[in-house]
Amino acid sequence: MSLRASTTSSYTSSLHVLQVLLPLSLLLTTLVPSTIGKTESADHERYAELRCLCIQTVSGIHPSKIQNLEVIKAGPHCPKVQVIATLKNGKELCLNPEASRIKKIIQKFLEGDGSAS
């Protein structure tokens, strides 16, 4: 008779564990983000990082090599203005926004039709 009592008590404790684990597992599945498998745009990833993107900058480059310019204002992610040039060969380069030559390139780019040349 003692065998049946221990079998019944282990069955009851196993049932109790399952009753606790099932709602817990359902709760955990609802907490998993629904963004798995989705890709974010490159712009969103840039601004999501809370650090400066431009560690090293270049003070001079020929405007004809620049395809596009991106100016990122100073903010909580970085205390300084960042200027990122996309070159015609596809590479990205950080420019020094304080350099007089870069200031002229930025001004020409803003005044013109979007090309730095």
| pLDDT, position 1 | 47
Domain count along the chain: 1
| pLDDT, position 111 | 85
In sequence order, what are the beta bridge partners of 58?
Answer: 95
1/12 Cα distance (integer angstroms):
17
- Between 98 and 30, the more confident residue is 98
| pLDDT, position 112 | 79
Examine residue 48 and state whether it is found in any structural domain, yes or no.
yes
Which contiguous run of DSSP H or E holds residue 107?
A: helix 100-111
| pLDDT, position 22 | 76
Q: In this structure, are residues 60 and 96 in contact, taking their beta carbons and an 8 Å threshold?
A: no
Examine residue 90 and state whether it is found in any structural domain, yes or no.
yes
Examine residue 116 and state whether it is found in any structural domain, yes or no.
no
| pLDDT, position 12 | 74
Examine residue 47 and state whether it is found in any structural domain, yes or no.
yes
Examine residue 12 and state whether it is found in any structural domain, yes or no.
no
Question: 27-71, pLDDT tens digit by residue?
Answer: 766 676 655 555 555 555 555 567 899 999 999 899 999 999 999
Residue 91 in 3-state DSSP? coil
- Between 71 and 10, the more confident residue is 71
Range of the domain at 75: 42-111
Q: CATH number, domain at 55? A: 2.40.50.40
Examine residue 66 and state whether it is found in any structural domain, yes or no.
yes
Cα–chain-centroid distance for residue 18? 39
| pLDDT, position 23 | 78
Q: Tokens in use for 114?
A: 């979007």
pTM of model > 0.75? no
Examine residue 5 and state whether it is found in any structural domain, yes or no.
no
Q: In this structure, are residues 44 and 71 in contact, taking their beta carbons and an 8 Å threshold?
A: no
Examine residue 20 and state whether it is found in any structural domain, yes or no.
no
